[in-house]
Amino acid sequence: MSRASSPVPPVCREIKWKTTAFLLSDSCRVPLEATVRYRSRSPFTIELTLHTPTGDTVWRLDRDMFLAGTEGPVGIGEVHIRPAPYDQVVLRLGAPSHTALIGLGRGPALRWLNTTYTVVPAGTESSHIDWRPLLDVLAD
């Protein structure tokens, strides 16, 4: 039995930012092509894809945590974000024994993030989620 009265979320919008990220080590900065993606149907999450010669690595990050990490250190588990000198944001990704440090430009990251908050303002995220499949399962 499906629920005809299930709310219909707004049309899904996608925002992409193609940039150069840097794999940081003690001795060098290795440039990596990166794509950062936001979809309004997944309003709490941004997706960071690092394009490497051996394939793509995808990380899903909390949008609000990413924004907070541009101002001060934040993190939990395998994702930690902090501002860094020279207008950078550094992401520490992975388990403590196998961590990658990724640097992104802070200014461009903030401009892109502000666009996501224009599409889905803070506090309105749940109205952009398509709840129909869950409601249909619960109704059966």
Structural tokens at position 4: 């005809």
> Average pLDDT for residues 13-33, to the nearest whole number?
93
pLDDT digits (tens, 9 = 90+) for 102-113: 999 999 999 999
Chain mean pLDDT for the chain: 89
- What order of strands is seen across the sheet that includes strand 14-24? 55-62, 45-52, 29-39, 14-24, 100-105, 88-93, 79-84, 74-76
Give the whole-angstrom CA distance, residue 37 versus residue 20. Answer: 14
Domains of the chain, each with CATH number or no CATH: 14-139 (2.30.31.20)
Which residue's structure tokens are 């440039």?
31
pLDDT digits (tens, 9 = 90+) for 121-138: 887 777 776 767 666 777
% of the chain residues with pLDDT over 70: 88
Structural tokens at position 8: 């219909």
